[in-house]
């Protein structure tokens, strides 16, 4: 549940910050008339992301077991690739995110209402689709037969919405650079588990071999139905009997990606204080 909460919080906060920047810019420049089309674009992006998530969830139920495993494994790998790109992209471009969005919004204001809707949709839509795909993959990987993984995601998204509003009002001030660094590192760990799960799905679909070649089996030491087994599965997508291929893929992803993210100088990017987002001063409404 915690791992999925983290995904909802991290992904949702990025979208919330984008919305805060767009809305604050329109309010500060006296263009309240443009708020309605911007909110319309945001609403369309959210609806499409929800529709995409529902399509993944209910569409796969009509497939055969082998097709479900092949789809789940393939989409899990795609989701890991997207979230890895997103984590590094946010570290690299966060410094210029505000000015980039302001430039796009100013151009859209000159071109008319429809362009405003499209601009807001594109700004939020990419985050929404990435979130829907990675959440689906993570929930599939950490599913324990209960609704806890989905509840974790919903709570994370709800927290992100509240924080976004507080940022906009100037009631909360945190070091976003450190926030995105630590949550990004934790997401890399979660993504490694999702990747290993996706590989296992492909093995069950007979796309990859080695399904019966286990690296270890510690069911007796860490029962999956114990509280600590559930905790490890929920946070790290831990599996007590992984295959050799899963362990190798997990290590080949986690070690270099986490090292690059935390220690490679080119990946470090500060986030300048934004007077419209978490400045500690109330924003005009």
Over the chain (285 residues), the average pLDDT of each successive run of 10 is 72 78 79 83 88 80 81 87 82 67 75 76 77 76 65 84 81 68 82 89 90 88 74 73 93 94 61 44 39
pTM summary value? 0.68
- Give me the chain's average pLDDT, please: 77
* Pairwise CA distance, residues 4 & 10, whole Å: 10
- Whole-number Å distance between alpha carbons of 114 and 12: 25
Query: What pLDDT was estimated at residue 215?
Result: 92
Point out which residues pair with 247 in neighbouring strands.
none
Q: What is the number of other CB atoms lying within 10 angstroms of the CB of residue 117?
A: 21
Q: What is the DSSP letter of 215?
A: S
pLDDT digits (tens, 9 = 90+) for 156-199: 888 888 888 887 777 666 666 677 778 788 888 888 988 998 89
Contact between residue 237 and residue 141 where contact means Cβ atoms under 8 Å apart: yes
- Alpha carbon 40 to chain centroid distance? 23
* CA angle 81–131–24, rounded 5-degree value: 120
């Amino acid at each position: 549940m915690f791992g999925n909460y983290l995904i909802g919080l991290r992904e949702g906060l990025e979208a919330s910050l984008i919305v805060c920047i767009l809305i604050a810019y329109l309010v500060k420049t006296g263009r309240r008339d443009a708020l309605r089309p911007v909110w319309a674009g945001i609403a369309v992006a959210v609806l499409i992301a929800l529709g995409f998530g529902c399509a993944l969830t209910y569409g796969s139920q009509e497939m055969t077991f082998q097709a479900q495993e092949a789809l789940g494994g393939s989409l899990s790998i795609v989701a890991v690739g997207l979230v890895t790109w997103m984590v590094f992209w946010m570290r690299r471009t966060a410094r210029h995110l505000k000015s980039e969005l302001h430039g796009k919004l100013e151009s859209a204001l000159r071109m008319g209402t429809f362009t405003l809707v499209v601009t807001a949709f594109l700004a939020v839509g990419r985050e929404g689709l990435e979130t829907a795909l990675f959440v689906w993959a993570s929930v599939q990987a950490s599913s324990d037969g209960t609704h806890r993984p989905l509840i974790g995601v919903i709570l994370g998204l709800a927290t992100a919405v509240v924080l976004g509003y507080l940022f906009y009002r100037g009631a909360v001030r945190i070091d976003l650079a450190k926030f995105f660094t630590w949550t990004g590192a934790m997401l890399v760990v979660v993504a490694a588990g999702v990747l290993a799960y996706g590989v296992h799905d492909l093995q069950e679909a007979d796309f990859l071999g080695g399904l019966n070649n286990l690296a270890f089996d510690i069911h007796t030491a860490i029962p999956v139905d114990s509280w600590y087994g559930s905790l490890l599965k929920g946070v790290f997508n831990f599996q007590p009997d992984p295959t050799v291929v899963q362990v190798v893929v997990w290590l080949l992803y986690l070690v270099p990606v986490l090292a690059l993210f935390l220690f490679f100088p080119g990946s470090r990017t500060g986030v300048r204080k934004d007077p419209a987002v978490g400045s500690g001063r109330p924003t005009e409404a």
